[in-house]
Structure 1
Amino acid sequence: MGVRCPLAPDIRDDLRQGDRLFRRRKLHLALPHTVVSDRPSCQYETVAAPATRKYGGLSASQRQSSRRTRLVEAGLDVLGARGLSNMTMTAVCARAGLTERYFYESFRSLDELLVAMFDAFSVPTHEAIDAALKQAPADLFERCRAAAGALIDSLTDDPRKARAYVEAISSTPLHERRAATMRAYAEVLAEQMRLLSGLEADHYRAPLRLITTMLVGGLAEAVSEWLNGMLKLSKDEVADEASRLCVAAAEALSRSKTTSTAS
């Protein structure tokens, strides 16, 4: 009679996860999963499952990518429910239904997961802003209103992302990521001002960067206050006021440079 040999941990854990999913659908999949060998003795061999082997129609790399996505989503769930200060690797793994071994398969630390979580909502938000700008008419107020509205919509559509956005301000691991995102938004605003307010000359470049940095930073803080319920305004009112400030700043910069050139 053959000797029963255990499957590699990667495949075995996937089977156990699949078993739980099948049981929820009132299907049946027996555990433990084993294979039969005619060899007189058998020990676990790491070469038993090549990287290209598929299970459930997915390759090893696809399963790893799926687990990574589950961890990111679980991280957002934990942050949304418990806050950044109470977020732990153990809680994230429990939420994802994965062991800590799989956490380290995708992330070296909790800080690295936080960066991936920030990207998970900041990248789609940037794409939404870009799409809104393309659909808005060639008017600075309308373009700013569309961009601010897209930002607010992306955060209010998912309360987890809203909390991550607010708490990223005080997160050391996310400081540079958030700063880079703010610089990108400031450059987008500066480009709109250059194109729509006649601020394309080189002498506008430095003051325009200062102004847009202040406007984007101020909007970020204002949106955080609004999400926390500190600003008693509607979403449209927040977007409108922010847009009026952008237009006023562009007009003021144009007047100041025109006056200084004339004198």
Structure 2
Amino acid sequence: MTASTSKTKTASRQFKGLTLEERKQIRREKFIDAGLQSYGTHGFFSVTIKDICHEAKLTERYFYESFKRSEELFKVVYLQLISDLQKNIVQAVMQAAPDHEQMIEAGLTVLLKTLKDDPRIARILFIDAVLVQELHGDTIYESFTRFDQTIFNIITLIFPEQLKNKSEASLIATGLNGYVTQIAMRWVVGGFKQPFAEVLSASCLAYRGILSFLNKKK
């Protein structure tokens, strides 16, 4: 292979210094951002692939380069939102350590504030996720399992002596997850009409009850 041939092949693989795979990844991320905007604003069932492409400013050919159908993109958007939210909650909780009351309030504040500040996220996580069949099965179960594990890690870190029974701690984590999820869902579906402070207080209640109970066991 001559030097000129090698340069020609390299040029064909790159555009503005980016490889084909890098350009493909950038397009994929644009579709994910467009999915958040479109699904979160209009609802999954009112959005077409053409709408997504228009929002991303890319053609349908590029959409099918990364996704087979709209449900697949929605699933990716959903799981990314779950992952980002989980990381932000953990970060807030750890920053509030070692005060147990502040750790509880910090984590739940991040959750509720995220939903209130960006209704797109709230709609995708707590309205459309319940309706999109693509998520039913492993996907929603996976997201709940992630949050169960996060809560489990937090409460066993706070109470290493009181929660030596890991099986019991796991059940408590699942219960707390379900408790807050139901409150958040009702708040979202109701259009955030109840005051933030009221919803936060109600969300903290179960955690504080367990905190009080475990403190008595010391």
- Confirm or deny a common fold (TM above 0.5): yes
Query: Which structure carries more helix by proportion?
Result: 2
Q: 1:86 to 1:214 in 2, by over 3 A?
A: same
Q: 1:125 aligns with which of 85, 91, 108?
A: 85
**1:89-168 paired onto structure 2 within 5 Å:** 89-166=49-126, 167-168=128-129
| Contact 2:86–2:150, Cα closer than 8 Å, also in 1 | no
Distance (whole Å) between structure 2 residues aligned to residue 216 and residue 178 of structure 1: 13
**Residue 56 of structure 1: CA displacement?**
2.7
**Residue 251 of structure 1: CA displacement?**
4.3
Q: Deviations over 1:164-214 (max 9, x none)?
A: 111212322223323222222222222332232442322xx3333222212
> How large is the RMSD of aligned CA atoms in angstroms?
2.5
Q: 1:177 aligns with which of 113, 116, 139?
A: 139
**Residue 131 of structure 1: CA displacement?**
1.0
Aligned equivalent of 2:158? 196
TM-score w.r.t. length of structure 2: 0.81
Matched residue of 1:224: which SS? helix
Counterpart of 2:201, as a letter, is D
Distance (whole Å) between structure 2 residues aligned to residue 124 and residue 209 of structure 1: 22
**Residue 87 of structure 1: CA displacement?**
2.6
Matched residue of 2:68: which SS? coil
TM-score w.r.t. length of structure 1: 0.69
Distance (whole Å) between structure 1 residues aligned to residue 9 and residue 114 of structure 2: 42
**1:34-113 paired onto structure 2 within 5 Å:** 53-113=13-73
Q: 1:110 to 1:231 in 2, by over 3 A?
A: closer
Distance (whole Å) between structure 2 residues aligned to residue 51 and residue 144 of structure 1: 54
Select the structure with the greater relative contact order (CA < 8 A; seq sep ≥ 6): 2
Q: 1:190 to 1:139 in 2, by over 3 A?
A: farther
Q: 1:230 to 1:93 in 2, by over 3 A?
A: closer
| Contact 1:155–1:162, Cα closer than 8 Å, also in 2 | yes
Distance (whole Å) between structure 2 residues aligned to residue 253 and residue 94 of structure 1: 54
Q: 1:104 to 1:49 in 2, by over 3 A?
A: farther
- Structure index of larger Rg: 1
Q: 1:229 aligns with which of 190, 199, 205?
A: 190
Structure 1: 5+ residue runs without aligned partners? 1-47, 259-263
Matched residue of 1:194: which SS? helix
Counterpart of 1:199, as a letter, is Q
Percentage of identical aligned residues: 27
**Residue 50 of structure 1: CA displacement?**
5.9
